[in-house]
């Protein structure tokens, strides 16, 4: 596991003050920094 990559991706998930103020409905439209969670063999 590439710990640096994982930490960077997790940090990208954190909301800043402006994003926090927009509320949960707006959060649904934020980009997902992770690739698909589905297994590659499916």
Q: Which one is predicted more confidently, 1 or 37?
A: 1
**Structure-block tokens of residue 9:** 């991706």
Q: Which of 36, 42, 33 is nearest to 15 (CA)?
A: 33
The predicted pLDDT at position 25 comes to 95
Residue 36 and residue 33: Cα distance in Å, rounded? 10
Q: Which of 42, 29, 33, 40 is nearest to 11 (CA)?
A: 33
> pLDDT tens digit string along 11-40?
888 999 999 999 999 998 988 766 677 766
CA of 41: how far to CAs of 8, 11, 38, in Å? 26, 28, 9
The predicted pLDDT at position 13 comes to 82
The predicted pLDDT at position 3 comes to 95
Residue 5 and residue 20: Cα distance in Å, rounded? 24
Q: Which one is predicted more confidently, 9 or 18?
A: 18
Q: How many residues does the chain have?
A: 42
């Amino acid at each position: 596991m590439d710990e640096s990559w994982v930490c960077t991706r997790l940090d990208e998930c954190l909301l800043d003050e402006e994003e926090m103020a927009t509320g949960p409905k707006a959060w649904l439209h934020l980009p997902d920094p992770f690739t698909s969670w589905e297994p590659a063999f499916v």
